[in-house]
Each structure stands twice: as structure tokens, then as C-alpha cells.
Amino acid sequence: MTPAGATPGDAPVRRRALLSVTDKTGIEAFGRGLADRDFELLSTGGTARALREAGLEVTDVADVTGFPEMMDGRLKTLHPAVHGGLLALRDVEGHRDAMEQHGIGAIDVVAVNLYAFRETVARPGVTDADAIENIDIGGPSMIRSAAKNHRFVWVVTDPTDYDAVLSGLDAERDEGGGEQSTSARRALATKAFLTTAAYDAAIGNWFSARQGGLPEVLVREGGHGSELRYGENPKQRAAFYRVPGAPGASIAAAEQLNGKALSYNNIMDADAALELVREFDEPAVAVIKHTNPCGCGTAGDLATAFRRAWSGDPQSAFGGIVAVNRPVDIPLAETIAQPDTFLEVIVAPSFEDGAVEVLTSRVKWGKNVRLLACGDLGAPAGDDLVVRQVTSGYLLQQRDDGFDDEQREVVTERQPSRAERADLEFAWRVCKHVKSNAIVLVKEGTVVGVGAGQMSRVDSAHMAARKAGDRARGSVMASDAFFPFRDSIDEAAGVGVRAVIQPGGSIRDKESVAAANLHDMAMVFTGARHFRH
């Protein structure tokens, strides 16, 4: 078979590669590898300069097109001499005739990666003008032309593929083409189209955010995916896609310092844990199991906060996921690293010197625990939109952020004490992160009982009370939505709950308030609910 860049029936001609990259990682070695295989190198701007500095001979694209770069580099590769060389079907006589008539030479390899738009818009204080100037036009055009014509053109958008392309060119030369070469070019074309699609999604979403409101067309980018061992269950395939350039602390951007690869369920739980501790200004620790908090505590130091969080439900916490909102120090590491404690993942902004050694060497499970350093939690993470998939469709909503727009109204005869007010606010923040119907019992800055995901609110109240046991006496209760009946208030009073925080808004609010007054309980309305389905 004929190699991808050759013209059937013609004498071999020197092949050409066009290299124009923003990320110059590995480009000199790739250019040298192409030159060693007798490719003529075409290039522009900074890429041409880098190749020449590496001692390689380079032809400027301007010499091919007959036009200089102009308009501050906006116009350089958008020309028939470039796109004709990429798009021409080498086995179609009419295409070959057009190339010969207009002096268009074939381009057989294209290496392009795009302007750093995502990184630009992630910078604090970036102007609209700077963002727009970093929208690449020529790059996506060349990538799409080459990918469309992948039967003849190698298109590479990722520096990690350079070596594979060189090996593919060698195989193509030695074997005279063939199905293996065609398959390799098709795989690169697939990656190229997904790359430009994700790039356009980032631009479109930026423009949508600037317009305000929800976008008319939903386009989301997922970045490069890494395959996981399996999904929620072993029979399900799964992968993790990280949005490139996304700002703020996140599991996607975290650096793994120790342990086995993250599983699908690890990622879900770690994300839930991180989002919970992000709610608190004081040192906080959350323990998550199946995306629900089974423990959460705050204190003046992380070690005390961890003891409080673990005490909430030690049975459920065993084998759970922990997140903290401060760097892990040695006292916290020593508190965690106990034989009767077992954790799958620990997420923190960072780990102080010596803390990693304590966590990974003091206990048997330390060699496997995943340690994730996610960065400063002070910066907001990602955008403010949340996407959920349903069969044949997607739901989009704003993230349930903050409590600043809520009101606090005491609706009972008894006012909550200062200590109860503090616990009510703590319980309210935790309750937001519990699956509905959600009930949370808190005592002295410690979650002592959680009822999650039940079909009736009173069942959640029963569950939280059972988990709390004797610790329910003197606790406070948070409910993510209003009480449709007074039965949950009676249940709470029966186990010793002294104060309640809830949104209010039920047609039977008066009955719930009357029940609280009957039991000498304090009740606070917030005017806002926090369903989490």
C-alpha cells in the first residue's frame, strides 16, 4: 500500500510537517525526529524560533503562502497553500491536478496545540480583551483540516503522542502503509476533534457566563480522561475527566501523594467531603461514607476536630473518606494514625513536613491510604453551574452556594441559647450536604446523628436519633426542608433535642411551632431549603 502522504504512481517526494504549538514541551525532539526521517519542517512564530535554536532547518509558513504574518499574528496559516496541502485527497486525480495547477504541496504531519485560553481566563483580573485575544482561530482550523483528511495526514495535538507518531511513521514506511497505520491516524483524528470541541466549549461557556443566566445551549468540556478500574460496580467501565485549567481546589486538580489509584466511589466521596469542609472558616473535619457525612466536627485545632468528627459514628466512619480545611499537621496525623482507625482517602489543602510519614508508616493501612493535596480552599472551585444527567437529557442548575441571603427568625417562645445558636448554625451547614430527606443532630460542635435519604422526614428523624443514642439529649436538630407534620418535632423532643433549625414554609408550620413550644424547644426558621437529591 501507499504511505499516507505519498501520491500513487508518482516518484517519492520529500514529505512535509507543519509544527505550530503553544505548549512547546518536546517539540524540539519531535522536530528532530521528523528531520531525521527526511521531513521538511514548516513552522511559524515562536515554534519556528525554538526549532531553529535547536539547530533544525525550518521553512517559514510565510514563504509557503507568499503572505507575511499580519494583524499581530492573527493571520498566518489561513491560506489555500496550507489548507489545500492538508485537505487534498492524494488518490483523487482532480485534487492532485488542483495541487499541481496552484503549486500546493502536500502536508503530511501537523502538530498543533492551541492558545492558552483556559489558563488566560483563569487568571485573576483578566480583561475581556485579553481573553478574546487568546481565542485560537488558525490552530483549530488546521487541526480540523488534518483530522478530516486523516486517511493521509497525521494530526497530533498532545505532546505525549509525539513518540507514537514517530513510531507510526516508521511502521508506515517499513510496511508501506496498511490497516495499522490507518487505525493509528484515525485514533489521533478522534482525539483532535475532541480537543477542538472541548476548546470551543471552554470559549462558549466563558461567553455564556459573561452574559449571565443559564446558557441557551449546554456544552460542557471534560478534559482528558483517565480510565478507572471500574465504576460504582465491577461490571461498569468508568473514567475520570479533569477540566483543564479549572481554578480553585478540587479533587480533579489534587496531587496524590500516596496510595493506590483512586476509584470511582473514592472520587465521589472525596468530592463530597471537600465540599463540606469548604463551608467552615474554623478548623473542620468531615468523614464521608457513600457521599453522606457520617461525622463532622469543628474545633480550635484539627486534631480535636477529627476526634469530634470520628466520634459521631465510628462504625460508619471506618473505611471512610476524610477531608480537612487546613494543612495536615503532625498532631492530626498522629491522631488519625491509630490501629482502630481505617481510612481510604484523606483530602487536605496540603500536608506539612513529617505528616505524610506518620500517616503512611505508623499503621498497616498507611501504605494504601490515598493522600490528596488539593490546594488552598479559599479560592472558588470551577463555575457555579451543576449538571446532572437523566435518560436522554441533562439538568442544569446553579450551585447551592452560601447562606448569606438567608434570614434567621426565632418562631418559638423560647430563644436558643448562645451555645445552641452555634450548634444550630453548624448543623445547618452540615445538613446541606446530606441527601434528602435530611436530619442532622449536633451537640457541642459535633455531629452525633444523621438521617439521610429516607422517603419520609420522620424516618430520617428516627434514624438520626438511633445513631445519636444518649448523645441526642441536649442536642440540636437541622432539617433540610420544612416539616410537613409535627411528628418529627415530637420524635426529637422524645430523645432530648432542645432546639431546631429548618426552612419553614409548610402549611402546618403552626403545628410544628406549637409542638416545639409544648416541649419547651427553640425553633429557628431560615426561609431557605437545601434539598440534595
What pLDDT digit, counting tens, does each position of 46-83 carry?
A: 899 999 999 999 888 887 777 677 676 666 677 777 87
Mean pLDDT of 318-344: 96
In a domain, 95, yes or no: yes
- Cβ neighbors of 323 (< 8 A, separation 6 or more) are 270, 273, 274, 276, 277, 285, 286, 288, 346, 347, 348
Domain interval for residue 483: 409-525
Per-residue pLDDT, 138: 86
Mark whether 339 and 459 lie in a shared domain: no
Which residues lie closer than 8 Å to 303 by C-beta, 6 or more apart? 331, 332, 334, 335
Q: What is the pLDDT of residue 177?
A: 60
Radius of gyration of the chain (CA): 30
Q: Is the pLDDT of residue 393 over 70?
A: yes
- Whether 7 is covered by a domain: the verdict is no
**Domain match, 343 and 447 both:** no
Amino acid at 47: T
Q: Given pLDDT bands bounded at 50, 70 and 90, which one contains residue 223?
A: confident
Split at pLDDT 50, 70, 90, the class of 163 is: very high
231 within some domain: no
Whether 11 shows a pLDDT value over 60: the answer reads no
Mean local confidence (pLDDT), 333-344 = 95
Residues 286 and 196 in one domain: no
Residue 384 sits at φ, ψ, to 5 deg, of -100, 25
Same domain? 30 vs 177 = yes
Cα–Cα distance, 33 to 437 (Å, whole number): 61
Domain boundary among 189, 210, 231: 210
- Does the pLDDT at position 9 exceed 60? no
Q: Which of 210, 237, 269 is the last residue of a domain?
A: 210
Q: According to the model, what pLDDT value does residue 273 have? A: 97
In a domain, 355, yes or no: yes
Q: What is the CATH number of the domain that holds 305?
A: 3.40.140.20
**351 plus 302 within the same structural domain:** yes
Q: Is residue 456 part of a domain?
A: yes
Confidence of residue 176 (pLDDT cuts 50, 70, 90): low
Cell numbers placing 401: 452556594
Indicate whether 184 and 106 sit together in one domain: yes
417 and 292 in a single domain? The answer is no
Question: Are 101 and 182 found together in one domain?
Answer: yes
Note the pLDDT of residue 97.
81
- Examine the residue annotation and report whether 290 is marked as an active-site residue of this protein: yes
The dihedral region occupied by 33, where left means phi > 0, alpha psi between -120 and 50, and beta the remainder, is: alpha
Least confident of 12-26, 441-455, 466-480: 12-26
Q: Residue 182: pLDDT above 90?
A: no
pLDDT at 380 over 80: no
Which helix (H) or strand (E) segment holds residue 292: the answer is strand 292-298
* 11-25, 168-182, 214-228, range with the lowest pLDDT: 168-182
Domain count, the chain: 3
Would you call 95 a catalytic residue per the annotation?
no
**Could you tell me if 67 and 176 lie in one domain?**
yes
Positive or negative, the Cα torsion across 133, 134, 139, 143? negative
Please give the single-letter amino acid code of residue 293: P
Q: What is the mean pLDDT of residues 3-22?
A: 70
CA distance 467 to 58: 72
- pLDDT tens per residue, range 268-309: 999 999 999 999 999 999 999 999 999 999 999 999 999 999
Position 121 scores a pLDDT of: 86
Of the candidates 24, 224, 290, 519, the residue annotated as catalytic is 290
Q: Which of the pair, 191 or 223, is modelled with greater confidence?
A: 191
Residue 405: per-residue pLDDT: 81
Residue 45 confidence (pLDDT): 85
Q: Give whole-number Cα distances, 462 to 232, 452, 455, in Å.
A: 29, 11, 12
Rounded Cα gap, residues 220 and 206, in angstroms: 11
Please state the pTM of the whole predicted model. Answer: 0.82
Q: Is the pLDDT of residue 5 over 70?
A: no
Exactly one of 95, 148, 224, 519 is catalytic; which is it?
A: 148
Residue with the larger pLDDT of the pair 484 and 12: 484
The string of pLDDT tens digits covering residues 473-505 is 999 999 999 999 999 999 999 999 999 999 999
Number of neighbouring beta carbons within 10 Å of residue 431: 27
Output the average pLDDT for the chain: 89
- Asked if the structure places residue 399 within a domain, the reply is no
